[in-house]
Amino acid sequence: MSYLKRHRDGQESSNARVKEDEHGLRYGGYEPAYSSKPKSSSWRSYGGGGGRRPRECLNSGMKGFLCTTNMREKECVREAYNILNEFAGDDDDVNKSGSQKMETECDAGAEMEQKDSTLACESEEKSDSKEQELESGTVEETESTSKREDDDEDLDIDAELANELKELKSEKTVRKFQTVDTGVNNVIFIRTTVPDPTELAYRIFDDVTTKKETKSRFLMRLLPIEMTCYANNMDEIRARSKEVLEKYMKTGYNSFRVVVNVRYNGKFGKDQLIKTMAELVSEVNPLNVVDLKNAQYTIAVEVLKSTLCLGVVKDFMKFRKYNLLEAGTPTPPPASEETSKEKNDEQKQPVPQIEVTAEVDMEQQIEEEATAPTNDA
């Protein structure tokens, strides 16, 4: 068998699209190894072909923790989860609500079992009644009624099952801590269901500063956020911020300071937000005073694109601006008075002057020797 014949036979066997017309002529093309058409993008979407689940974006009406890192977001999220789960106690309202949900689910299961048992009893009673009707000779009249009742029962069961499925779909599993996409590099928001994130963050930093132990390597700042709202509406910002400030500064004589960071938003400037927050604090309580060094409360305002995050924290400078890396590093001991005096004395001592001898130029020396008178022997 020649090479051309074997090559032709191999093409015929490998290609199913080649056909012959009524005259015996072959037509059709060979399928290329790759197609020029773009592949379907259904695999990228969630549920279309094994794609990843889309992450939730930062929106209004959230509370949680704002975390910063240095180009290591994945490791930062892991460390934040570990620290938050370590200090979040088992007596939180979230866990109580979860146990209540479990109890309600158990009660619902018991009720369903009772319904199933009652339905079985009713079916047995109806079967007994059918036997009695067969014996009495009233089968023809009861058949139509029994069919109607069976249809009604089937409809009731189907309706109950449909309602249960709707309830199960509506009940989404809410985690205690969940990351949210901010759209800003090296800035992560962890949404929480803990009722008071500020108190949890204070416990974490109090433990870190007292023990002087670094609990993180990639997680830098861990700032509690009590409120998020849209940054494009100033009326909403004032209304939502006033609710948070009334929680801390409504009574008493309090000192405060405002810290603002704006990322990817050119509409608002730092001065404008500082001025509005100061006005809101004075509206809440006129006795509040600004203190830029040792403020009792620090109002932290973080603007991320079109979302404004607000948090009110204590001991802002003591906890190194809520930076875990700096708060965990031990501070150097203060210098004693004797060592400081010695250093001052050393600085006051005069510096010894070094005499510099001028070098004689060789050419000048040669000229002087040449001009000098010589003594004849």
**pLDDT bucket at 333, cuts 50 / 70 / 90:** low
Give the pairing of strands 187-192 and 64-68. antiparallel
Residue 285 CA to chain centroid, in angstroms? 34
Q: Is residue 312's pLDDT more than 90? A: yes
| Tokens coding 126 | 């109806």
Q: What is the pLDDT of residue 264?
A: 92
CB 324 within 8 A of CB 215: yes
pLDDT, the chain, mean: 75
How large a percentage of the chain has pLDDT more than 70? Answer: 54
**pLDDT tens digits, one per residue of 278-294:** 999 999 999 999 999 99
Cβ distance 229 to 255 under 8 Å?
no
Considering only residues 338 and 264, tell me which one the structure prediction assigns the higher pLDDT: 264
Contact 301, 256 (CB under 8 A): no
Mean pLDDT of 207-221: 92
Between 362 and 337, the higher pLDDT residue: 362
- In percent, the amount of the chain with pLDDT more than 90 equals 45
Amino acid at site 246: E
61-90: pLDDT as tens digits: 999 999 999 989 999 999 999 999 999 976
How far is residue 269 from each of residues 91, 243, 319, measured CA to CA in Å? 41, 22, 26
Residue 105 has pLDDT above 60, yes or no: no
Q: Over 70: is that where the pLDDT of 195 sits? A: yes
pTM: 0.60
CA 124 from centre of chain: 56
For the cut 90, the answer to whether the pLDDT of residue 269 exceeds it is no
Contacts of 84 (CB under 8 A, 6+ apart): 65, 177, 190, 192, 200, 204
* Separation in Å, CA 166 to CA 142, 172, 175: 36, 11, 21
The pLDDT score that the predictor gives to residue 7 is 54
Question: In this structure, are residues 74 and 218 in contact, taking their beta carbons and an 8 Å threshold?
Answer: no
In sequence order, the 6+-apart residues with CB closer than 8 A to the CB of 257 are: 290, 291, 292, 295, 297, 298, 299, 316
Query: What is the band of 236 on the pLDDT scale with cuts at 50, 70, 90?
Result: very high
